[in-house]
Every structure is written in C-alpha cells, then in structure tokens.
Amino acid sequence: MSTAKSSTFRAINLIGDYWLLLLMREALLGATRYNEFYKRLAITHATLSDRLKRLVEGGLLTKSANADNTNGPEEYRLTDMGRNCYVVLTMIRQWHQRHPDLSGVEWLQGTFVHSECGHAFEPRLACATCGAEVHADDVSSKPGPGAGIEPVVTMPVQRQVKVRKTGAERSISGTVGIESDRWSIMIMAACFSGISRFGDLRERLLMSPHTLSNRLSLLTSQKMLTKRAYSSTPKRYEYVLTAKGKDIYPIVASLMQYGDRWLSSDGPPMLLQHNPCGSSLSAVLQCSACMSPVGLEHLVFGIQ
Ligand SMILES: [Zn+2]
Ligand SMILES: [Zn+2]
C-alpha cells in the first residue's frame, strides 16, 4: 500500500511515540547512560531497551563505550540529527503549557533562558525571514520537488502505555495525550494539509475505520476538531480545525521541517509559504525577549 510522501509523517514515524519523545527529552537534558534514562522515567526495562535501540537505528543516538573507562557502562550520545529534535520537543512542551488538560505526559515545569540575551523567555516558532510568529492561517502550501507516493509504514499504535510502578518492574497502563499519540498527530497534520472528510482521511492515512472513528471522536470531544455534515443523504461528515486545534500547528510545522531536513533526501514533498511576508517558510525557535532565533547551544532549561 502507498500514500503521498510526507516529511511530517516520516518524522512522526521516527519519534512520534510517548517513550521516544521522553527519551529524547532526557537525552537533550543530559542523560547518556541506560541507568540514567531508567531512573528518570517510569519506563520498564523491556521498553527502554527497545526504544534506545530504535533511537540508535534511527540515527538520533550513537551507542559507544564509556570514554573514561572502557569497562564502564555504554553511553548514548546525541547525533546532530538527535540534537536537532530540540525544536519539536520545545514546541510540544510549550503546547502542553497552554493545554495541560490535553496532555498525558508530564512535560517539565521550568524556565527557558536564552543565554545570548540573558533573558527568561517563552519559545515560539517564527518565520526566519520576517520574524513573525507562525500561525496555521498564515501558511499556504504547494507540492515540492520530493512530492510523490511511497509505501506506507505500519507501526503498532496504542494510546495505552505501560508505566512502571516505582521500584519493582510491575507496570500499570496509562493513556497518552494527543501530542504523543501517533494517530492523533497524523490526523491533525492531514487536516492542516486540507484533508477533512472521513473517507479522504482514511485514504490518506490508511487507518482502519474503527481507529479513525475512535481518534476523530477523541479529537472532537477535546474540541481540537468540529464535526460538520456536508451531505445529508447519505449522512457524511467533515472535520474542521478549531482555534484550539490550530494551536497545535507549531508541533506539526516543526515535525515537517525536521522531516524535510533529515528524512527527505529527494527534497521536501511539500513547500510552505509564509503569506504575510511572501517568503518560503523556514521556521526557527525564537526568543520572545530579544526576537532572535535560539540555537540549542543557547537554550538553557532550568527545572523547577
Ligand atoms: Zn515571514
Ligand atoms: Zn533572547
């Protein structure tokens, strides 16, 4: 089975999983050893081994012998591709700050400081050309040089995750939020690209009707989408982004940009234009204090 090429979907397939996101967060905050990840997260050994392997295979981490002591524990180090996830992770954390009720992940409380200007700030996604904050309504799209079709990647998708109970390896199930549920983010990404009808979403995402109905119910109950009838006989519905739903756009846009940069060797499948300035959109993480782009080397996060 094939579907239209999408950098956003490629990025979601790479990191759009509850534990992968949390492991990348901890790696960006400095964790390098297996036991550090294990202690910081309520993850079981089986899941931790599996996800670290996936991050190494995906090119986000490298596994190497400890530099100081070759008999010591192995270290997981971020690659350039891994470090560049910071924009996606920061956008997820900012979205969670605005909508804590929708998120199932404990995203960290703390303050971002921009070390270049020295100010505490709220990170936001901005157009690199004009500096304006990126909003879904200001962006239009057209097919890019990498457009086409590709085979569908199938992955297990569940909203339930196993969470380790403190101490022992007994685990309980938890439900993940929209930002770490692969299907929910894929539906939202499809809606931003202009797909709104049930049948079209099903064709684009190749989801089972049951799973698609389930996630659409979830997204409408959380007021991310509204359901609107576009045909009365037979009764057919389309799903329209609400203002609250559009607020997740910085996550989707940063996933797409990440996929364009690291996962699209044949060029971006889709090109975005920032309509207020007319330039092709290159989005950067911007400091709200000095309005400059913030690189990872100047992003300091103090945990409260
Ligand atoms: Zn612009
Ligand atoms: Zn600044």
* Ligand whose nearest atom lies closest to the CA of 294: 2
Give the pLDDT confidence score for residue 243 in this predicted structure: 96
The torsion angle over the Cα atoms of residues 97, 102, 108 and 111, rounded to 10 degrees, is 0
* Ligand whose nearest atom lies closest to the CA of 120: 2
Asked whether residue 70 carries a pLDDT value surpassing 80, the answer given is no
* Ligand whose nearest atom lies closest to the CA of 279: 1
Domain with 203, as residue range(s), is 2-303
Domain count, the chain: 1
**pLDDT tens for each residue of 80-110:** 999 999 999 999 999 988 988 887 666 777 8
pTM comes to: 0.94
Distance between Cα 29 and ligand 2 center (Å): 20
Cα 34 from Cα 109, distance rounded (Å): 24
Task: Mark 29-59 as b/e (b = at least 16 C-beta within 10 Å).
Answer: eebbebebbbeebbbbeebbeebbebbeebe
Distance between Cα 126 and ligand 1 center (Å): 8
Cα 134 from Cα 284, distance rounded (Å): 9
Q: Which long-range contacts (CB under 8 A, 24 or more apart) does 206-213 make?
A: 206/1, 206/3, 206/152, 207/183, 211/157, 211/183, 212/183, 212/187
* Ligand whose nearest atom lies closest to the CA of 128: 1
Distance between Cα 139 and ligand 1 center (Å): 9
Closest C-alpha among 159, 152, 151 to residue 17: 159
Distance between Cα 125 and ligand 1 center (Å): 11
Interior CA angle at 76 toward 114 and 182, to 5°? 75
Residue 293 gets which letter from DSSP?
B
Closest C-alpha among 254, 245, 210 to residue 226: 245
CA 189 to centroid of chain Cα atoms: 11
Distance between Cα 57 and ligand 2 center (Å): 35
Average pLDDT, the chain: 91
Through-space distance between the first and last CA atoms of the chain, rounded to whole angstroms: 47
**pLDDT tens for each residue of 211-267:** 999 999 999 999 999 999 998 888 899 999 999 999 999 999 999 999 999 999 999
CA 48 to centroid of chain Cα atoms: 19
Distance between Cα 195 and ligand 1 center (Å): 24
**pLDDT confidence band for 35 (50 / 70 / 90):** very high
3-class SS of residue 1: coil
